[in-house]
Amino acid sequence: MSVAGPVWVLSPHLLVAQAVTAALRSVGVPAETRRWESVVDEDVSGVAAPMRPAVVVAIVDGVDNSTVVGHVEALAQPGDVRVVVVSSADASTRWGGLLANDAVDVVTVTTSVSQLADVVQRLTSGASSMDPEERLALRASWALDRDRRRHVREQLDSLSPQQRRVLELLASGHRVAEVGVEMGVAEGTVRSHVKALRAKLGASTQLKAVAMFHQAYDVTGGADLVPRPRGAGEDPGDDPGDPRTRDRRGDKVGAGRR
């Protein structure tokens, strides 16, 4: 396969990037694993032309948050660098805001190595692997999601400082009793705040109020989420960095086109 320039493969989870790199190299793609931290802190436009990537494959399944979206958006700024975002179907809407840039494509996590290689080939030749209607649909879904988040943030702005603090602590994983200790108030006072904030937010349960906070501010409650490639027939315990896992999958890498 002829690709003009190196293909950088990166993920917040290094083992995932290494596994996909090996898979792409096995079908002739000149792929190189790059550490996420080093690339997002690097000005790609300043890299010497022969070393500058033709395509960046960013595997972000499971960590599709606003910070990661911003990192990928920065990678796509140099005009001669193309980016393919590998995400889950459920999270692909999060990337619609970047699709106004023709240098960015979004694919999902259920394709074979050969299909991902084809996406890379299309991008390096200046084409897109996405159907134009699919691109427009993702952009429209992203705009709706953005408006929903904005509306929820406006609702959260109606909370008192005490109610807001209670919700923040609950959203970070604290129990009601722990919130009371943290704030120096009785548990009954915390429950009163919860009841009041639920009424203001129109949330039928405490869990729904916490979910609204997560939705508005793109937080994960402190969970250390990392992307995990998935594919048809994959065992739940498969380790993408284990050669035995790759042998069981054949040519599947867990990245897929929608």
The pLDDT tens digits of the residues spanning 54-67 come to 889 999 877 877 88
154 and 239 in a single domain? The answer is no
Percent of the chain with pLDDT over 70: 77
Q: Taking a C-beta distance cutoff of 8 angstroms, is the pair 189, 203 a contact?
A: no
Write down the pLDDT at residue 218: 66
43 and 133 in a single domain? The answer is yes
What number is the average pLDDT over the span 103-112? 87
Cα 96 to Cα 129, 209, 245: the distances in Å are: 15, 26, 32
pLDDT grade, residue 220 (50/70/90)? very low
Write down the pLDDT at residue 201: 94
Write down the pLDDT at residue 77: 74
Q: Has residue 1 been placed in a domain?
A: no
Write down the pLDDT at residue 246: 36
Write down the pLDDT at residue 250: 40
89 and 179 in a single domain? The answer is no
What number is the average pLDDT over the span 113-121? 90
27 and 122 in a single domain? The answer is yes
17 and 131 in a single domain? The answer is yes
Q: Taking a C-beta distance cutoff of 8 angstroms, is the pair 126, 80 a contact?
A: no
Q: Has residue 145 been placed in a domain?
A: no
Per the structure, the count of domains in the chain is: 2
42 and 114 in a single domain? The answer is yes
pLDDT > 70? residue 44:
no
Is 61 or 258 the better-scoring residue by pLDDT?
A: 61
pLDDT grade, residue 184 (50/70/90)? very high
Instruction: Count other C-beta atoms under 10 Å from residue 25's C-beta.
Output: 17
Average pLDDT taken over every residue of the chain: 79
The arrangement of strands across the sheet holding 104-108 comes to: 31-33, 7-10, 55-59, 82-87, 104-108
The pLDDT tens digits of the residues spanning 69-106 come to 888 888 877 567 889 999 888 888 888 988 988 889 99
Nearest to 166 by CA among 140, 188, 150: 188
Distance CA 223, CA 225 (A): 6
100 and 67 in a single domain? The answer is yes
Q: Residue 62 sits in which domain range?
A: 7-140+225-249
Nearest to 89 by CA among 237, 230, 249, 251: 230
Write down the pLDDT at residue 242: 38
132 and 53 in a single domain? The answer is yes
CATH of the domain at 98: 3.40.50.2300
235 and 168 in a single domain? The answer is no
80 and 159 in a single domain? The answer is no
Is 240 or 164 the better-scoring residue by pLDDT?
A: 164
pLDDT > 70? residue 43:
no
